[in-house]
Structure 1
């Protein structure tokens, strides 16, 4: 199940996601993976969640992000929550590419809660993504 935390820069999206990660750490029986760019959450999230920096793996663009997420999921069937911070930074601020990869990720994560932050105004989202906004 895909959920989007949407808002402009500085609106508290990452803080909301950190709170969701902390709650998941306390309640989940599976594994939690947090994917981000630049490792800014290193000291802010519980060490029980697996933090992965896409820069360490050379991930750039929507297609590479999809392959990376699919590989992470294929490598660990115990993942119950996946958090992705700042998708537009990874897709070079290409909203159409971000929408495409989010829809593709949604198709392969039917049993996993996926939470993604999007730095944009909700009105600027493509119509097919608005249904995922929380």
Structure 2
């Protein structure tokens, strides 16, 4: 299952995603991963949530992000929830690439029985096609 949160920069998306992760970890049956483009959230997350920063990983496009997510799950099959804070900060994607990415992520979530929560900035959200809008909360 994929959940997308779209709003303007500075609207509190990150704070809300951190709070959601901290709430969900209390009743989680599997492991949780929080992915961000910087280290700011590391001390705000519950210690049972694995934090990964993409700062030095050189993720350049939607394909590298998808491969990165596959690597995370292949390393630990007990992961059931992944949070991605700031998709457009982690990789640069246009609308067409976003559609391809979300189609892959849909299959990824089904294959590995994952919940995926993604924060996106308003600048890309205004142009979302229906194939992605169905995930917007």
SS of alignment partner, residue 128 of structure 1: helix
SS of alignment partner, residue 92 of structure 1: coil
Identify unmatched segments of 5+ residues in structure 2: none
1:128 and 2:117 aligned: no
Are the counterparts in 2 of residues 60 and 91 from structure 1 also a CA contact under 8 Å? yes
The separation in 1 between residues aligned to 2:15 and 2:136, in whole angstroms, is 16
Are the counterparts in 1 of residues 61 and 93 from structure 2 also a CA contact under 8 Å? no
Runs of 4+ in 1 over 3 A off after TM superposition: none
Aligned-pair CA distance for 1:93: 5.1
Q: How many residues are matched?
A: 134
Are the counterparts in 1 of residues 14 and 85 from structure 2 also a CA contact under 8 Å? yes
Give me the TM-score of the superposition, normalised by structure 2.
0.89
Are the counterparts in 2 of residues 6 and 117 from structure 1 also a CA contact under 8 Å? yes
Give me the TM-score of the superposition, normalised by structure 1.
0.91
SS of alignment partner, residue 107 of structure 1: helix
Q: 1:118 aligns with which of 93, 111, 120?
A: 120
Identify unmatched segments of 5+ residues in structure 1: none
After the TM superposition, which residues 1-134 of structure 1 pair with which residues of structure 2 at under 5 Å, given as runs? 1-92=1-92, 94-110=94-110, 111-120=113-122, 122-134=125-137
The separation in 1 between residues aligned to 2:8 and 2:96, in whole angstroms, is 17
The separation in 1 between residues aligned to 2:14 and 2:35, in whole angstroms, is 12
Distance verdict in 2 for CA 1:90–1:107, change over 3 Å? same
Distance verdict in 2 for CA 1:54–1:23, change over 3 Å? same
